[in-house]
Chain A
Amino acid sequence: GAVVSQHPSRVICKSGTSVKIECRSLDFQATTMFWYRQFPKQSLMLMATSNEGSKATYEQGVEKDKFLINHASLTLSTLTVTSAHPEDSSFYICSAARGTGELFFGEGSRLTVL
């Protein structure tokens, strides 16, 4: 099946620094990718929809300046957590929509901010 890969799978950073997470669709082109945040024992919360070549669409309550999303190519979307704080620690998951509309999820990236 289609593969979506995230990198890094785990990252630890100091408070105040920025962290970039990559999401790649390895065997198909994805005009649309999605970024989710998952808290422990909670469901996935959609943060934003990333559209290739245009600005991302953020869900209500998600800070655009805190979570920068770039979808510069049909196979890569990046999420940058700027000026990270401990409350930004979470599991971030991306998904990519293939032409059929079916979603394929990445493995997730666990961010820990000290």
Chain B
Amino acid sequence: AQSVTQPDIHITVSEGASLELRCNYSYGATPYLFWYVQSPGQGLQLLLKYFSGDTLVQGIKGFEAEFKRSQSSFNLRKPSVHWSDAAEYFCAVGANSGYSTLTFGKGTMLLVSP
């Protein structure tokens, strides 16, 4: 069975500083990997996804993530955090590109300090 671990429940970053959110997955075959962001009281918005090809993927809002098969990781990064980035971030793994078999991590809450 597939699983996702987001080791950090909360992370606080100063505005303008760089950000890395960790995600480790467990899946027996080639995974399809996703990062979503959820603002308070809102649904989820897709930031980026990895299906194949270049292991460094670019997403919306200046986010990027790198797939590292040897480490079973798909960490999310942003070079300079803005206050509006404060939200909850979910990593997800799927068995195919059809999204229907997504398994989500527990999420990491990002707090941005002035």
A positions within 8 Å CB-CB of B = 4, 6, 9, 32, 34, 41-44, 46, 49, 93, 95, 97, 101-103, 105-108, 110
B positions within 8 Å CB-CB of A = 4, 9, 36, 41-46, 90, 97-100, 102, 104-107
Assess whether A101 is in contact with B97, with CB atoms less than 8 Å apart.
yes
A-side binding surface: helix, strand, loop or mixed?
strand
Assess whether B42 is in contact with A107, with CB atoms less than 8 Å apart.
yes
How many residue pairs between the two chains, A and B, have CB atoms under 8 Å in the bound complex?
Answer: 49
Report the separation of the CA atoms of residues A103 and B104 in the bound assembly, to the nearest whole angstrom. Answer: 13
A42 to chain B: closest residue by CB: B106
CB distance from A62 to the nearest CB of B (A): 16
Chain B residues with CB under 8 Å of A95's CB are: 43-44
Assess whether B43 is in contact with A105, with CB atoms less than 8 Å apart.
yes
Assess whether A108 is in contact with B100, with CB atoms less than 8 Å apart.
no
A49 to chain B: closest residue by CB: B100
Most A CB within 10 A of own CB, among B9, B36, B99:
B99
